[in-house]
Structure 1
Amino acid sequence: MVLRVSLSGWRGWALLLLCTVLALAAARQLTQPLWDDPVIALEIGGTYENMMEHSTAPFSLLIRGHVWGGIPKTDARLRVVDPQYGFETPLARFLSVGFKDNVVNTIRMSPQIEPLLIDDAMKVVVDLQAQWCAKGWKPMSTRRDPAMADTPEWRAYVRQGVLSGVSYWQAGDKYQAMLSLARFRDSRHPDQERYLITLALAKPWIPFEEIEKLPDEPDHFPPPQPQKGATPCPAQPS
């Protein structure tokens, strides 16, 4: 499937990097300062200087004139600053911000500080999707990759460890997000089912309108479909 090809490369890279980050976690905790509210606040297209002005977590030094990536020097939440589409994540240990010169152009992260049990992982996924729904983001490619839900069907799907749950979201013509939930083998908890969430955010990069015109391809592991009449963004309580 077209969309899952792009996911596999990103997922593998993220898993490898997260393993490295987790291996260094113990040493990092010994040196991590006590920040009252560690946040990286930014906007896609915003500058490094603007990010640092509004953030409370320390961050990599600016590298001008290059395409480069930086990370916070402590666990931090991501706050996307936008009057219409803004949202916030839980604390993250892996949070990478990509820059072109000093301008933010991509975010890749895992909104958690360790692999989570399924109850906690589902809570994070459902909360992020609810934030996007409330702010006017639209789920994309729902025929192939419907929005995830905390249901027995979705839990059984990701528990197989064959494919991850994936949902795609778009905020007007400003942003796209790819959210993934996958089973993760955690050597520290070999007898537990742990899960990894990954999030990619950038300006729109997937041509969903063109993809929707393509015929459906056979899928041997189709994700759970929403119940008849269900909507990925239910009406928000007033």
Structure 2
Amino acid sequence: MSVQSRVGGRRRRLGIVLLVLLAVALLRWGFQALSDEPEIALEMGGTYEDLRERSTANFSQLIPGHVWFGIPKTDARLRFIDPQYGFVTPPARFFTVGFDDNLIDGIRMSPQIEPLLLDDVLKVVLNLQDQWRESGWIPIRQRSAPPFADTSEWRVRLRDVNKGGTTYWQAGDKYQVLLRVHRFKDNKRPNEERYMITLNLGKPWLPTHTEFPVLAR
């Protein structure tokens, strides 16, 4: 075999290897683009340092020795970490994490990027409720604040600017969550019915055995 043939063979093999490596890199990049949304991953009572290590979204700087609220520096979803009661939200623009020194003690967020249409907002809250049911959360205060459902009665209630809806869920003796939906005047779309969701999560703060009326807002 001539020197020229050997050199040509090496070049072809090198070209094939480079093409394979490029294809692998493109596949990995495409998979990451589809699967990696910025997220804040945390557990209640966890540390600020753990949040920063587990999350893929940048976050506020620590304010040691204070009760304070931090925020992601980009739209991000919540991945709530618990071996039984964990769940994931859609990406959120309004998203605050409460700290006592460097320990996480609460979350307040709106799991959406913009005000949503009623069909879309129901998809979000029903998905969250499904996740909670499957992992053992229990709805509480059901007489005055029943879980959301896609029914004509619920749609009429949510369309009423003076009512909206609120439901409460509890995870054993570890956590409670408030989930609220209300009409929102979206100045960008003044002729559309748009809605906002509020999600508050923390250690149990309400007794489960006492009912109370939901106040009109």
Bin the TM-score by the shorter chain: 0.7 to 0.9
In structure 2, the residue matched to 1:110 is 110
TM-score (norm 2): 0.81
| Cα distance in 2 for residues equivalent to 1:36 and 1:84 | 23
Letter in 2 for 1:160: D
**Cα RMSD for the two superposed structures:** 1.6
Partner of 1:173: 173
Q: Aligned-pair distance for 1:58?
A: 0.1
Matches within 5 A, 1:68-147: 68-147=68-147
- CA distance in 2: counterparts of 1:117 and 1:175, whole angstroms: 29
TM-score calculated relative to the size of structure 1: 0.74
Using the aligned pairs only, state the percent identity: 59
Structure 2: distance between partners of 1:131 and 1:147: 13
For 2:191, the aligned partner's letter is D
Distance in 2 between residues matched to 1:175 and 1:193, nearest whole Å: 32
Cα 1:157/1:204, change in 2 over 3 Å: same
Q: CA deviation at 1:36?
A: 4.0
72-81 or 143-152, which moves further after superposition? 143-152
Give ranges in structure 1 of 5+ residues lacking alignment. Answer: 1-34, 222-238
Indicate the residue corresponding to 1:208 in structure 2.
208
Once residues 132 and 164 of structure 1 are traced to their aligned partners in structure 2, the CA distance between those partners, rounded to angstroms, is 21
**Deviation for aligned residue 1:164:** 1.8
Deviation at 1:151, TM superposition (A): 1.1
What is the Cα deviation at residue 220 of structure 1? 9.3
Instruction: Name the SS for the 2:205 alignment partner.
Output: coil
1:154-201 C-alpha deviation (Å, 9 max, x unpaired): 011110111121100000011000000111000000000000000000
> How many residues are matched?
182
**Mapped partners of 2:168, 2:215: distance in 1:** 20
- Deviating beyond 2 angstroms after TM superposition, the runs of 4 or more aligned structure 1 residues are none
2:45 alignment partner, SS class: coil
Unaligned 5+ residue runs, structure 2? Answer: 1-34
Larger Rg: 2
